[in-house]
Amino acid sequence: MLLYIGFTLSTFWVTGLMQGFLSRYPQLPEEERPAFLFNAYLLFLLSSSLVLALMLWGKTSVLLVLTGQPALPFYEIFAVFLWLNVPSYLVENYYLVLQKPKAILYFGVFAFSLQVLAVLGPVFMGFGLLWSFYALLLLGAAKYAWLILLLGRWSAFKPNLKMILHWASLSIPLILYALMGSFNQSFDNWLVNFRYGGDEQAFAIFRYGARELPMALALTNAFGSAMLPEVAANLGTALFAIKEKSLKLFHLLFPLSIFLVITSKWLFPLIFNEDFSASVLIFNIFLLVTVSRLVFSRTILVGLNANRMIFYISLLELAFNIGLSFALAPFFGMAGIAIGTVAAYSLEKVLLCWYLYRKFGISIGQYTDMRWYLAYSAVLALSFVIVTV
């Protein structure tokens, strides 16, 4: 529930600002880019501080609205960790625009391995979760220090309100789009709480099942972010690169999704325990999201600054998700909620592809290898039907 709170309060504006940052940076003159890096940090510091204030001063309201609980253990410690951790998301994006892929790898290994160690180490040593949270605080401080060192080397300490406001104005439709996307996921959790009366066991079953293929979300988001500067700089070259490079993701993520659909009923209880067997169907439904994730029409639209239409389409997606989930939940339970979400993701991608073609004349075949895409999608869908039926 703490992770759910952090996701709800931060993901939408972090995602929107980051995408705006990646599309704006290549368009700036070379001499203005160091100042832009510093001003990006200022805006993230301000935004994360506002989230911290909301979580601490509005604690009762935040907990009741988002979780239905009057209190949660370790809440205050987690709020401070979130405040430290969110600005450090800038690190890998700085390295991306500075064209330093090896540094992204080093930072990722540092951050992820220590995060796993921070959470699991104290528990396995018998100290309990409290010390896991203390370890997370230390990790957050270390990542923040890394960010400050990076700023000292590559940025120019020149606050520029005009620069911040222009970037923020470009990012607002993307923030709203991300808000709709995070609300889609938050709505699913809320609907489960609503239908099951705040039952923590039901909530856990849904949360453990309502996850996409491990790596898929990270890889597709990373790939989309990496291609944004290229789309903004040279559209023709970027379309060819997206088509060629996304095919490698097809060959990795589609076979993994198919394998997990077929084997999840054995693997899920083995990885977690038998209590989570009910999560398997929900997990298999969410694996179908792979089909829509691997089409990168939104990346191209963001690079072309068509951000407003992206937001409008997200509103349609949200309305469709809410309506379909409410309609299916009485008949299929948590599986119906999952179906509504996956169907909404698919509708969004269809509309984005349609608008990209209608407005800019760019067909899906220009940035997607359709032969492999359709073949893999058909096998994944067939595997789901066979296993489910």
Task: For residues 105 and 111, give the distance between their C-alpha atoms in angstroms, rounded to a whole number.
Answer: 10
Instruction: Using the predicted structure, report yes or no on whether residue 180 has a pLDDT greater than 80.
Output: no
Whether the Cβ atoms of residue 18 and residue 97 lie closer than 8 Å to each other: no
Q: Which residues contact 154 (CB under 8 A, 6 or more apart)?
A: 34, 37, 94, 98
**pLDDT tens column, 277-311:** 888 899 999 999 999 999 999 999 988 888 889 88
Q: 238-267 burial, b if ≥16 CB within 10 A, otherwise e?
A: bbebbbeebbebbeebbebbbebbeebeee
Give per-residue pLDDT as tens, 27-84.
889 999 999 999 999 999 999 999 999 999 999 999 988 887 888 899 999 999 999 9
Q: What are phi and psi of 300, to 5 degrees?
A: -70, -40
CA distance 128 to 146: 28
pLDDT of the residue at 381: 96
Band (198; pLDDT cuts 50, 70, 90): low
Would you state the pLDDT for residue 34? 95
Amino acid at 319: A
By percentage, how much of the chain surpasses pLDDT 70? 99
CA distance 311 to 172: 9
Give the list of residues 6+ apart from residue 216 with CB closer than 8 angstroms, or none: 253, 256, 257, 289, 290, 293
The mean pLDDT value for 251-276 works out to 88
Residue 121 pLDDT more than 80? yes
| Integer CA distances (angstroms), 145 to 104, 121, 140, 152, in order | 16, 22, 9, 11
pLDDT above 70: residue 334: yes
Lowest mean pLDDT, pick from 119-133, 258-272, 351-365, 374-388: 258-272
How would residue 156 be classed by pLDDT, with cut points 50, 70 and 90?
very high
Alpha carbons 258 and 381: distance in angstroms, whole number: 9
Cβ atoms of 299 and 229 closer than 8 Å: no
Residue 305 backbone zone (phi > 0: left; psi -120 to 50: alpha; other: beta): left
| Lowest-pLDDT range of 4-13, 199-208, 294-303, 354-363 | 199-208
Beta carbons of 305 and 168 less than 8 angstroms apart:
no
Closest CA to 171 of 22, 372, 339: 22
Q: Average of pLDDT values for 247-273?
A: 90
Residue with tokens 């239905």: 68
Q: Is the pLDDT of residue 181 over 80?
A: no
Ranking 7-16, 71-80, 184-193, 308-317 by mean pLDDT, the lowest is 184-193
- Note whether 51 and 83 are within 8 A (CB): yes
Mark out the alpha helices in 210-333 (DSSP H runs).
Answer: 216-233, 235-271, 279-287, 290-293, 297-303, 307-332
Please tell me the pTM assigned to this model: 0.76
Quick one: pLDDT band at residue 190, thresholds 50, 70, 90? confident
Q: What is the pLDDT of residues 201-238, one digit of tens each?
A: 777 888 788 788 768 888 898 899 889 888 888 888 99
Summarised one tens digit per residue, pLDDT across range 340-350 is 999 999 999 99
- What is residue 32's DSSP assignment? G
Per-chain mean pLDDT for the chain: 90
Q: Are 180 and 317 in contact (CB under 8 A)?
A: yes
**The most confident of 173-182, 189-198, 285-294, by mean pLDDT:** 285-294
* Cβ(82)–Cβ(6) below 8 Å: yes
Structure tokens at 344: 């909404």
pLDDT at 162: 92
> How confident is the model at residue 188, as a pLDDT?
81
Task: Evaluate if residue 248 carries a pLDDT over 90.
Answer: yes
Alpha helices in 155-199 (DSSP H): 161-195
Sequence-distant (≥ 6) Cβ neighbours of residue 298 within 8 angstroms = 224, 310, 349, 352
Instruction: Give dist(CA 334, CA 318) in Å, integer.
Output: 18
Checking if the pLDDT of 197 tops 80, the result is no
The two most distant CA atoms of the chain are separated, in Å, by: 61
Question: 339 pLDDT exceeds 70?
Answer: yes
